[in-house]
Amino acid sequence: MNILRIFPAYSSLLVYLDNGDKDIRSSLTERAFMITSIIIPINFLLLFLLFALTGGQAPTAIVLEDKGPYAQQFLSAMEHSHSFIIQQTTSVDAKTLMKKGQIVAIVTVPANFDSLVRDGNQVQLPVVLNNLDVDFTNDIRRAVPLAITSFYANTFPNQVVIRAHEVDAYSHDTGYIQYLVVSLMVVSIMLGGLLQAGSNAAREYEKGTIKELMLAPASIWAIQIGKILGALLLNSLSAVVMIIVIVFLIGVWPEHWDELFAFVLLLMITFVALGALIGTLIRRRQAVIPLSIGLSIPVFFISGAFGPAEWGDQVTAAITQLQPVYYGIAIFQHAFHNFTTTSTSPAIDGFILAGFAALIVTISAVALSYSRGRGDIH
């Protein structure tokens, strides 16, 4: 009997489907784990979103000792600098807020501000700074002089002769959160894929059921692709929830829905296959979880999550181009905002990502095949 002759292509298809179905059923019986695998990626998305929301602008108290028109115009300049969360208060309250650590800086507009400005005299603007975090400190150091310049440009247009003439690459500005949330979706899909497929693969080794798969005459490819399919379907639950959060809760509407769905699928295949590879190699679910999270976070930071990776240093940009999240972020930014964040076109980025997907699926099947011959499955 030659099983290869009686194991035609449609049987392999059945192996994909039944093996995937089996993994889904197995996962559904472990509800706590299943929920964790869906919740963690969404949690990841929300966590970084909160981080961005809280870290975007410096909370600053402004004490207006002068209520004159120039003082009011200066306040307006500060409010439009996109760098402060302004809280207008008294000197005493400002000091209390600073003491409690609730603000980064106190900017005081002195009582003689209007008269000094009107007479063209120098104005000393006291800025009390809590410089415990250089990121916020530098925000203040940059933004106060910018507010002063804006004040002069608006109040005395003839005195400020240099004007920036802005030409925008895109028709509208995109908020920091709106940009970041797209990158976060990519990394969350990555994390979800790694967790789901990694756990499914590792469970086979933990429970000893891998022997049933390894001793079967079915093709290793069919077995591994079946596992990838199962994890893909489970991972898609997480992806759908993320899309709902991003589109309907945060209000980021995709420019190209077709690209979004195609790239979500491609990205899920890539990372589900990577998860299957990790689970096959590590064989323990307890190890898969921290490794997945540990892998996702640094990749998130170097892959152009906050802005195009090429805007960073050349070495990091070169490194990040060697991994799929970089291309994932690029094509998602295009799908959502019509942005081009890499030197290549979105189509090329998509092809490169498809190449990664094919490569990782292949490596994961080879790893499973290698696992069969190692003789350490007992």
Partner 1 sequence: MNQKENTTPAIELNGLTKHFGDFKAVDGLSLTVRSEEIFGLLGPNGSGKTTIINMISGLSKPTSGEATVLGHNILHDTRVVYAALGSVPQETALYEELNAWTNLSIHATLYGVPRSVRDKKITDMLNLVQLYDRRHSRVSTFSGGMKRRLALARALLHDPLLLYLDEPTLGVDVQSRRAIWNYILDLKKKEGKTVLLTTNYLEEANALCDRIAIIDHGKLVALDTPINLKRRYGDTVMEIETTSSVSAQLSERLRTLPGVSEVIQEDKVLKVTMSADELSVTGQLITIVTQEINIKKISQREPNLEEIFLSLTGSGLRD
Amino acid sitting at position 275: G
DSSP labels, 294-355: HHHHHHHHHTTSSS-GGGS-HHHHHHHTTSHHHHHHHHHHHHHH----SSS-HHHHHHHHHH
Pick the stretch among 5-13, 173-181, 252-260, 283-291 that binds partner 1 (CB under 8 A).
5-13
* Beta-bridge partners for 87: 61
Q: Does 35 bind partner 1 (CB under 8 A)?
A: no
DSSP labels, 9-37: HHHHHHHHHHHHHHHHHHHHHSHHHHHHH
Q: Which is nearer to partner 1, 13 or 347 (CB)?
A: 13
Name residues whose C-beta falls within 8 Å of residue 274's C-beta, 6 or more positions apart in sequence: 190, 193, 194, 197, 360, 364
The count of chain residues that interact with partner 1, using the rule CB under 8 A, is: 37
Site pattern 151..190 for partner 1 (x: CB under 8 A): ----------------------------------------
Q: Does 101 bind partner 1 (CB under 8 A)?
A: no
Max distance between CA atoms of the chain, in angstroms, equals 104
Q: Which strand (E) or helix (H) includes residue 64?
A: strand 58-64
Pick the stretch among 11-19, 36-44, 191-199, 355-363 that binds partner 1 (CB under 8 A).
11-19
Neighbours of 13 (CB within 10 A): 13
Member of 55, 145, 175, 208 binding partner 1 (CB under 8 A): 208
Pick the stretch among 13-21, 67-75, 115-123, 256-264 that binds partner 1 (CB under 8 A).
13-21
Member of 1, 134, 162, 322 binding partner 1 (CB under 8 A): 1
Q: Does 3 bind partner 1 (CB under 8 A)?
A: yes
Q: Which is nearer to partner 1, 7 or 152 (CB)?
A: 7
DSSP labels, 133-186: SHHHHHHHHHHHHHHHHHHHHHH-TTT---------SSSS---HHHHHHHHHHH
Q: Which is nearer to partner 1, 290 or 375 (CB)?
A: 375
Q: Does 37 bind partner 1 (CB under 8 A)?
A: no
Q: Which residues of 135-169 are buried (b: 16+ CB within 10 A; e: fewer)?
A: ebbebbeebbebbbebbbbebeeeeeeeeeeeeee
First to last CA, the chain: 28
Q: Does 366 bind partner 1 (CB under 8 A)?
A: no
Pick the stretch among 152-160, 203-211, 312-320, 337-345 that binds partner 1 (CB under 8 A).
203-211
Q: Does 233 bind partner 1 (CB under 8 A)?
A: no
Member of 90, 209, 286, 343 binding partner 1 (CB under 8 A): 209
Pick the stretch among 4-12, 38-46, 115-123, 323-331 that binds partner 1 (CB under 8 A).
4-12
Q: Does 11 bind partner 1 (CB under 8 A)?
A: yes
Could you give the strand order of the β-sheet that contains 58-64, starting from the edge strand earlier in sequence? 84-88, 58-64, 105-109, 127-129
Site pattern 44..63 for partner 1 (x: CB under 8 A): --------------------
Q: Does 200 bind partner 1 (CB under 8 A)?
A: no
Binding site for partner 1 (CB under 8 A): 1-4, 6-7, 11, 14-15, 18-19, 22, 25-26, 29-30, 207-219, 223, 372-378
